[in-house]
């Protein structure tokens, strides 16, 4: 389990059919050690702070194992690490083995899992595919965000190791299932609304939906 690639990107302007769009989804690998702080990684930027970045989405990780899937689906071998806008490309921890509230050691930093990624239209722009965000969501291969519990330094090749596990053990995979595939799965809904590490706005949405199902 390690950090396969460390990736950063700057805000840039893209002309899409005559419309100027600002984005920082274009991340490229970095071959040196960088500082990790409460709002992200040294040298990295986010364009729209309403939906990107912030304390609870300071670092975004994407499993390297997913790249084979996307190369086959998209019929492309040109998918360098950082292609999905991730800050760290990781190995060894797919979504069904990562739980809300888990704490990972990454370099000398400590990171806590906060939520999966919900794709936006910038992913369509990056891949020049108007359905890419939908494909990403349907795949369940979301990656996951972290808050920074302990600032430190990080580089490609550093160990990426879980050092604490949430007692609730509600996985990113389970969230993705109930969020986008099995929205009426009462068992998962009853479970997710009790998980304190799932963001409150999602728990409230799930609780309201669950109550509606139980009233039928």
Residue 36 pLDDT > 70, yes or no?
yes
pTM for this one? 0.93
Q: Under a CB-based contact definition with an 8 Å cutoff, are residues 42 and 34 in contact? A: yes
Q: Length of the chain, please?
A: 216
pLDDT at site 51 = 67
pLDDT at site 15 = 80
Q: Under a CB-based contact definition with an 8 Å cutoff, are residues 104 and 160 in contact? A: yes
- Partner residues linked to 164 by β-bridges: 103
Mean pLDDT of 53-76: 93
| Cα distance between residue 105 and residue 111, in whole Å | 6
Proportion of the chain above pLDDT 90, given as a percent = 76
Mean pLDDT of 112-127: 91
Q: How many CB atoms are closer than 10 A to CB 167?
A: 10
Mean pLDDT of 24-47: 91
| Cα distance between residue 125 and residue 132, in whole Å | 9
pLDDT grade, residue 207 (50/70/90)?
Answer: very high
Mean pLDDT of 61-87: 94
Q: How many CB atoms are closer than 10 A to CB 164?
A: 13
10 Å CB burial of residue 149 (0-12, 13-18, 19+) is middle
Q: Hey, which CATH number is domain 3-169, 2.40.33.20, 2.60.40.10, 3.40.50.720, 3.40.50.2000?
A: 2.40.33.20
Average pLDDT, the chain: 92
Number of helical (H) and strand (E) elements in the chain, helices listed first: 6, 13
């Amino acid at each position: 389990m390690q950090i396969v690639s460390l990736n950063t990107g700057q805000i840039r302007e893209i002309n899409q059919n005559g419309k100027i769009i600002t984005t920082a989804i274009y991340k490229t690998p970095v071959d040196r050690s960088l500082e990790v702080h409460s709002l992200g990684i040294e040298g990295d930027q986010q364009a729209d702070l309403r939906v990107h970045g912030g304390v609870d989405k300071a670092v975004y990780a994407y499993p390297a194992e997913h790249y084979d899937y996307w190369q086959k689906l998209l019929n492309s071998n040109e998918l360098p690490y950082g292609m999905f806008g991730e800050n760290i490309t990781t190995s060894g921890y797919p979504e069904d083995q990562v739980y809300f509230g888990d704490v990972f050691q990454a370099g000398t930093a400590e990171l806590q899992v906060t939520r999966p990624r919900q794709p936006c239209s910038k992913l369509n722009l990056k891949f020049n595919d108007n359905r890419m965000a939908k494909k990403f969501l349907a795949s369940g291969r979301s990656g996951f965000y972290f808050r920074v519990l302990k600032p430190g330094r990080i580089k490609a090749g550093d160990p990426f190791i879980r050092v604490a596990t949430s007692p609730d053990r509600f996985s990113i995979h389970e969230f993705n299932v109930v969020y986008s595939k099995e929205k009426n799965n009462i068992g998962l809904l009853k479970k997710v609304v009790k998980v304190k590490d799932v963001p409150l706005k999602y728990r409230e949405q799930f609780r309201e939906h669950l109550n509606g199902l139980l009233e039928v």
